[in-house]
Amino acid sequence: REATGLRTFSGIGKEAVGPWGHGAVELSLFASQFAYCTTYFIFVADNLSMVLEVAFGWHVGQLTLMLLQLIAYIPLSWVRRIKVLSQAMLFANVCIATGIVTVIGFASHRIAAEGFHRDVEAINPKGLFLFTGSVVICFEGIGLVLPIRDMMKKPQKFKSLLTLCMLGLTLVYCALGAFGYLAYGGGIERFVIQSVARDHPGPGSVAQLAYSCAVVLTYPLMLLPAMNVINRYLVRLGLWKRSKTDAEKMMENLIRTFIVLCSFGIAVLCGRSFDNFVGVVGAFCACPLALIYPIVFHYRLIGTPSITKTVVHGILLLGGLVGLFLCAAVSLATWS
């Protein structure tokens, strides 16, 4: 970004390696953000289903809960500016913090009372690559990095802020995974917050509701990069103008609604194989965006760094390529 002055990931890709770099980034960004939005339907439906069953004894199907989410997601998808979402994002962060504190708190209490679960394994080779694909998907916000930087009042502080955020997120993800697995072992639910809710229905259900609310509010933020890709292509083809009339804005809303409906359809089809779906998304979308493209573009634009950085970049690049193929192969082979 600093070397080129460009404001988009795809623009940097084009500057670095030409049109194919631009196209590769645009395709990966659209596919990844679209897939992340798809997982939101599944996460919220699973957790709300459990809350309704525990709190009220209601057995509501996953499909019904996914359909109800459309009532929120369709109008939220019409939001075009990140600034409009600032207050909602603040509330969503509070909800996420509530869920994190609840999970770590009750999981650590269980460990203190009962010790590590009896079937904890240091390494489970059977699920290693599926796990890797799921981990890489933690880079789901990478498409928002440059847009957020451009919205900052003091963009010169962005690099230090990004570093601190990445360190903090890494610690939180590691803590959630470690405490959850050590407390519940191999019987842990696919969403650890559900395991906590089974042990502690009251606070667990509150945490599930809070986390689900946060996911719903962040849906338009995750959809934004995908819609930006579509808008850029329509402008490039001459079918769209950067400053739109009311009729064109209405047409864009219809396109956004169609994208939401498509993500709903895929969520319905892939809901029962959520882990495999996440693994495939991590392999084909997150691995290139997080581990492959940045290193290739850096070398093309900046040149060869120090020996230490070259070794680190080489390891990351090799890991990204290996992870892409192996995670995709295992996820597809074990898809049920």
pLDDT at 6: 65
Choice among 35-44, 147-156, 183-192, 294-303 with the minimum mean pLDDT: 147-156
Distance CA 263, CA 121 (A): 35
pLDDT tens digits, 50-75: 888 887 888 888 889 999 999 999 99
pLDDT tens digits, 271-308: 777 778 877 887 888 788 888 888 888 888 877 667 77
Give me the long-range contacts of 8-11 (CB less than 8 A, separation at least 24): 8/146, 8/228, 9/142, 9/143, 9/145, 9/146, 9/289, 9/293, 10/229, 10/232
From residue 79, alpha-carbon distances to 2, 29, 100, 224, 282 in Å are 29, 19, 28, 8, 26
Read off the tokens for 125: 């080779």
pLDDT band at 221 (very low <50, low <70, confident <90, very high): confident
Mean local confidence (pLDDT), 69-89: 83
pLDDT at 264: 93
pLDDT at 7: 66
pLDDT at 65: 92
Q: How confident is the prediction for the chain on average, in pLDDT?
A: 83
In this structure, the dihedral spanned by the alpha carbons of residues 271, 276, 282 and 283, taken in order and rounded to 10 degrees, is -140
pLDDT at 69: 93
pLDDT band at 3 (very low <50, low <70, confident <90, very high): low
Distance CA 75, CA 52 (A): 25
Looking at the predicted structure, is the pLDDT value of residue 242 above 70? no
Per the CB < 8 A criterion, the answer to whether 15 and 218 are in contact is no
pLDDT tens digits, 16-37: 888 888 888 888 888 888 888 8
Mean local confidence (pLDDT), 123-132: 71
Higher-confidence position of 237 and 205:
205
Q: Which residues contact 221 (CB under 8 A, 6 or more apart)?
A: 82, 85, 89, 144
From residue 201, alpha-carbon distances to 56, 194, 207, 216, 331 in Å are 11, 9, 10, 22, 32
What domains are there in the chain, each with its CATH number? 9-334 (1.20.1740.10)
pLDDT at 262: 92
Helices (DSSP H) in the chain: which residue ranges? Answer: 9-17, 19-56, 62-76, 86-114, 128-136, 145-151, 158-184, 192-199, 201-236, 246-270, 274-281, 287, 293-301, 307-333
Looking at the predicted structure, is the pLDDT value of residue 228 above 60? yes
pLDDT at 133: 67
Place of tokens 């460990």: 111
pLDDT tens digits, 43-52: 899 889 888 8
pLDDT at 261: 94
Taking phi over 0 as left and psi of -120 to 50 as alpha, with beta for the rest, 185 belongs to left
Q: Which amino acid is at 162?
A: L
pLDDT band at 206 (very low <50, low <70, confident <90, very high): confident
Distance CA 100, CA 103 (A): 5
pLDDT at 165: 86
Per the CB < 8 A criterion, the answer to whether 299 and 240 are in contact is no
Looking at the predicted structure, is the pLDDT value of residue 4 above 60? no
- Cα angle value 311/313/319 (rounded, 5°): 105
Nearest to 275 by CA among 223, 316, 327: 327
Higher-confidence position of 241 and 217:
217
Distance CA 144, CA 224 (A): 8
From residue 128, alpha-carbon distances to 134, 137, 326 in Å are 10, 15, 10
Query: Hey, how many other C-beta atoms are within 10 angstroms of the C-beta on 257?
Result: 16
Choice among 41-45, 167-171, 244-248 with the minimum mean pLDDT: 244-248
pLDDT at 222: 84
Read off the tokens for 148: 């957020």
